[in-house]
Every structure is written in C-alpha cells, then in structure tokens.
Structure 1
Amino acid sequence: MNSPISVPSALPPRAALLMAGSATLFGMMAVAIRFASKQQHPFEIAFFRCFFGALFALPLLRVHGIEILRTRRLGFYLVRCAAGTVSMVCGFWALVHLPLAQAVALSYSTPLFVTIGAVLVLGEIVRMRRWSAVIAGFIGVIVIVRPTAADFSSATLIALLAAAISGMVTISIKYLSRTDPPDRIVLLTTLLWVPLSLPAALTVWRWPDADIWPWLILSGALGTSGHYCWTRALRMAEASALAPLSYLQFLVVGMLAWLLFDETIDRYTAIGAAIVIGASLYIARRESRMAREHNLVAGIGKADPPA
C-alpha cells in the first residue's frame, strides 16, 4: 500500500497575520530610513540599521542559548552576509534617492533573479511558462524604470542591483535552511552584518544629531521585527500562499509616502509594479506546484511499515 499523500492545508490565520505584519514593518522601516536620510548617508543608515537590529535580535540568545550560534557553515554565512550587506546598502541608496513606492516596486523583481540564479547555480530546470513569467516581469521593470524618459535616474539601476544580489542571498538561504534552523540564520546574519557594514559607513561617517537617533533605532527595530515575523510565517505556511500578503508593503509605503512626503504613485510605477507582482506570484505558485508534484512522485512506491 502506498503511503498517504498530504494535501496542503488552508493558509493558517496566524501565518497570514505574521506575513501581513512583516510587510507592514518593512514598509515602516523604509519610512524611517527616509527620515534618517535627512542627515545621514545611506551607508551610515545601513550600519545603524544592522547595529540596532542586532541588539533587538539578542533576546534569541536568551531563548536558545549560545548553542544557537554554532554552525559548520560559518564561511558560507560570511559570503552570504557580505552579499547581503551590498544588497542592503544598494537598497537603502535607492530608498533615499527614489520615490519610496518606486524603490519598493523595483525590489519585487528579486524572484525574477532567483529563477535565473536557480538555473545557473542550482541546476534547476525551468520550462517555458516560468521563463515567460520572467520575461513579463522584466517588461514590468522596464515600465517602472523608463530608461528613455527625461527624468530617468541612475538610482533605479542601483535598486535593480540590490534586487539581483538579494536573489543570490535568497538562493543561499535555500542551502542554509537544509541544515540550520531559522533563528540561527536570523541571528547569525544579523550579527555578521554589523562588522561587514561598518567599513562603508566609515568612509562617510558623521555622528547623528539627537533628532536622527530615534529613526536609526527604529529602522533596526522594525527591520529585525519584520524578519522575525517573516521567518515565523514561513514555518507555518508555504511561501507561495504567503506571497500575496508580502506585497502589502507596496500599499503601506505608497500610503505613508503620500501622507508624510507628498509623494504619489505615478501610473508607470503602478502598472509596472502590477506586472512584476503578477509575474512573481505566478513564479511562486509554479514553484510550489512543481515541489508538490516532486514530493508526490517521490512518495509513490513507498510501502507502509508492517503492522
């Protein structure tokens, strides 16, 4: 007799709330970064986000003990965190120099780069449907960027570089998650980001004024809290089911940017974001379906143990 095949359950309400909370927290972090940029350089903001984020992550040590830091893949963590630091610095640069909604919309191109990286690095087979989604997604990116427009900004290319490197980091998480628990990944990554982000900050160092410190502290608290909610949500439900909720960040950022900075979402950003989000959602759903089919095939022929 074949072993029973599990059917994916409905999205747990708690997982949905955690993912919605994560998207909201990351959106608010973008706003804190913009306020901090009134004085501080993006390189410094990235360092302080990492520093205060690490402080807010330290309670995980109390929960798990020092053993949570032990890993056989420290070298891999260093490479991953170095790439993540570059992605963060580029992303913060984009948040400071672009309209917030446009910067966030371009960050949603990360799944497109993940698909390409999965083929080049992981050797995954991607068929025509997913390639079509990738092409559609990059068309959406072109709509957002509008490289021939008079107001084209080179900061959009920095935002795309951040998304591309973030795709590499996402692929690295697939490796780490095979052996390391989520809290170890979050804690080690957060701690390693601090020294790795410091050299760039020192090149433009200026001590913040008193009114800037709250925004720097808040960026670290919001970033770490967002990652905490994100990792917990992914433990409870499939990434493809949670993906639509992650795009709440675009709405949160758009609303806050309008209220606080008098920024509006232009039609090109809205149309391009819709295309990129649609393509990313299709890729996520397709990957989930392929994974379930693979598990189904792997489960066939396995006999039940004797009674």
Structure 2
Amino acid sequence: MSEAAGSQSGLAQMAANRRGILWMLLAVMLFVVLDTFAKLLSETYPVWQIVWARYTFHLVLIALFLRGALPRTLRTRRLPLQLLRSLLLVITTGLFFMGLSMLQLAEAAAVMLLGPLFITALSVPFLGEKVGMRRWGGVFAGLVGALIVIRPGTDVFVLASLFPLAAALVNAFYHITTRLLSHSDSSMTTLTYSSLVGAVVMTLGVPFFWVQPDLIGWLMMVAVGLVGGSSHFCLIKSYSEAPAAVVAPFGYSNIVWAVLFGLVVWGDLPDAWTLLGAGILVVSGLYVFHREQVRKREKR
C-alpha cells in the first residue's frame, strides 16, 4: 500500500471512529431518556405495564421497519438460547424499572455500572476466558464503589438498591448469552427476538396490572418503546462504524446524563458518597476494559 493510500485509509478510519463515538453517545443519552420516561410513568402506572409498553411498541417499530422481511429475520440457529437471552433482558428491565420507581435516577444508574464487571467475572465459568489478577483487582474495586453507593448497614441504605443490583447481575448473564449468539445469528435477529419475547411475556400478565392510561400516559408509553428501539439501533450503528475498543468506553457517559436528567426533571442531586462510588465504578470499569484490550492484542 502506498503512503498516500495508507494516509487516506487512516483518515477514513478516523472518520468512522468519530461516527461510532457519536452513535454511542446518542445511544447512551437515549437509554437515559428511556429511564426518565419509565421513572415518570412509575409515579402513576405499575412497573409491569411500563415494561409491557417498552417491548410492545419496540416490536411495533421493528415490524414497521422490517415489514416483509420480518419472518426471514426470525430464522435462528439457536432458538432456545435466543429465548433465554430475551427473557433475561425482560427480567433486567423489570428489575431496573422497579428500582427506578424508588430511587434517584443517578443512584440506579450508578449501581448498574457494575454490569461490565459482573460480565468479566462470569466470562470465566461461562465463556472459558482467563481473567488475570489486574482485572480481578478492577472488579473488586468496582464492588467497593457499588458498596459506597448502596451503603448497606447505614440509614441511607434501602432495599430498593437491591433491584438495580440484581438487574446488573441478570444483565451480565444477558450479555454472556449475547456473546454466544453473536457467532450464529445477526444482530437484527437478536434484536427482533428481544422485543418479540418481551412483548409476548408481558402481555400475558399485563391484564392483572392494567391501569387505564390517559392521553399523556399513552404518549409516554409509546415513547418508551420507540426510544428503547431507537437506542438499540444507535448502539448497533456505533459498533458497526468503529471497533469496540474505541466506542465502548463512551458508554460510561450514562452517569453524566443520569445526573443531568435527574437534576432537571426531579431536582435530585446525588450526594458526595454516591458520586464517589460512581466515579470508582467508572474508573474500575474502564481499567478492566483496558486490560481486556491488552490481552486481546497479546493473543494476536
């Protein structure tokens, strides 16, 4: 390759990386918008109904987007794993929305930062990956950060903190199954199953929890589904434009959006301990991710 061609290729990659980062930042912001709508809805409607709206209107969006290609998109080589993964995502959403209904947005978001650290720990028994002492140290530091946010044994601690903690753990299993599926099914197939299974499962139970929405309630429920679908689309676009090593660290910007939205919508400002714990979680997560990239380069 000539020097000019190499320079042009490098510029093209830099442009793609910038697009990937922008898509990731947009995806993360939309995820927090979704959480904000869910928390607002939880002041009037049951969590089950909100989760139902999240997946039902997401499925409507996908069906409109795919139209005639929907049956072909549903073809999968690993149906049981697709169903398990989708069910894990529904459980994650339900647990997190339950925590959101009782906690500040930033507090719930901070605890969810444990997710990537749980994934690292679970990759050992489920994916057969080797995790060195440095990464285990990062995981341990993240657990300390989570304990600072939750503060068990103090007056600040409430049982509601356990919901996002459980959501982070279940979400880690969800990501493990996603990695397993990435070798056999397309991202669109996996995304479609997520919304389909979520809509079906939640529809079975929603009559027992139903509260008739007013016009504003309906609009917000539709928004929950549309924003949820759009956020996943942006996430897929981000990883299609740039390598994970470039875009993944920007996923931690969610804590910034969560603090901002919580302050603007509810006037909530996290205390110093919550911000300290969140900071430790972000740093430890980024360190673990850095070590994962180092290990991948060493294997080449």
Give me the TM-score of the superposition, normalised by structure 1.
0.89
> Among 40, 44, 51, which residue is 1:46 paired with?
51
Instruction: Show the 5 A alignment for 1:98-177.
Output: 98-177=103-182
CA deviations 1:125-147 (Å, max 9, x no partner) are: 11100000000000000000011
Q: 1:61 aligns with which of 57, 66, 80?
A: 66
Q: Could you tell me the percent identity over the aligned residues?
A: 28
Amino acid at match of 1:48: A
Matched, 1:271 2:276: yes
Instruction: Please state how far the C-alpha of 1:64 moved relative to its aligned partner.
Output: 4.5
Deviation at 1:50, TM superposition (A): 0.7
Q: Gaps (5+ residues) in structure 2?
A: 1-9
- Pick which of 131-140 and 40-49 moved more: 40-49
Verify the 8 A CA contact 2:89 2:171 in the aligned structure 1: yes
Paired with 1:285 and 1:237, the residues of 2 have a C-alpha distance of: 16
Q: How does 1:183-198 map to 2 (within 5 A)?
A: 183-198=188-203
Aligned Cα RMSD in Å?
1.8
Partners of 1:202 and 1:177 lie apart in 2 by 35
Please tell me whether the aligned partners of residues 47 and 94 of structure 2 are also in contact (alpha carbons under 8 angstroms): yes
Q: Which residue pairs with 1:180 in the alignment?
A: 185
1:31 aligns with 2:36: yes
Q: Tell me how far apart the structure 2 counterparts of residues 192 and 37 of structure 1 sit (CA, whole Å).
A: 22
User: 2:214 is paired with a residue of what secondary structure?
Assistant: coil
Distance 1:15 1:63, change over 3 A: farther
Letter in 1 for 2:279: A
Task: Please say if residues 61 and 229 of structure 2, whose CA atoms lie closer than 8 Å, have aligned partners that are also in contact.
Answer: yes
1:97 corresponds to which of 94, 102, 105: 102
Q: Could you report, residue by residue, the CA deviation over 1:249-276 in whole angstroms, capped at 9, with x for unpaired residues?
A: 2211211211111111211111111111
Matches within 5 A, 1:216-231: 216-231=221-236
Distance 2:263 2:205 in 1: 31
Question: Which deviates more from structure 2 when the two are superposed, residues 121-130 or residues 234-243?
Answer: 234-243
Q: CA deviation at 1:203?
A: 3.5
Matches of 1:278 and 1:104, distance apart in 2: 15
Moved more, 226-235 or 245-254: 245-254
What per-residue deviation string (whole Å, max 9, x for no partner) do you get for residues 56-95 of structure 1? 1224424845312111211111111112111110011111
* Letter of the structure 2 residue corresponding to residue 272 of structure 1: G
Confirm or deny that 1:280 pairs with 2:285. Answer: yes
Tell me the distance in 1 between the aligned counterparts of 2:212 and 2:176: 36
Q: Secondary structure of 2:216's partner?
A: coil
Distance 1:265 1:62 in 2: 44
Q: Residues 24 and 238 of structure 2 are in contact (CA less than 8 Å); yes or no, is this contact kept in structure 1?
A: yes
What residue identity is the alignment partner of 1:98? L
In 1, the alpha carbon distance for the partners of 2:53 and 2:266 equals 23
The answer to whether the aligner puts 1:74 opposite 2:79 as a matched pair is yes
Q: CA 1:167–1:68 in structure 2 vs 1: closer, same or farther (change >3 Å)?
A: same
Secondary structure of the residue that 1:121 maps to in structure 2?
helix
Question: CA offset at residue 158 of structure 1?
Answer: 1.1
The one-letter code of the counterpart of 1:252 is W
Write the letter of the residue equivalent to 1:130. Answer: R
Distance 1:201 1:90 in 2: 16
Contact 2:83 2:193 in 1 (8 A): no
What is aligned with 2:251?
Answer: 246
Q: Deviation at 1:226?
A: 0.5
Gap runs ≥5 in structure 1: 1-6, 297-307
- The residue that corresponds to 1:212 in the other structure is 217
CA contact (8 A) 1:26 1:222 kept: yes
**Residue of structure 2 equivalent to 1:19:** 24
1:87 paired to 2:92: yes
Q: Which amino acid aligns with 1:103?
A: A
8 Å Cα contact 1:239/1:284 also seen in 2: no
Pick aligned residue for 1:232 from 232, 237, 251: 237
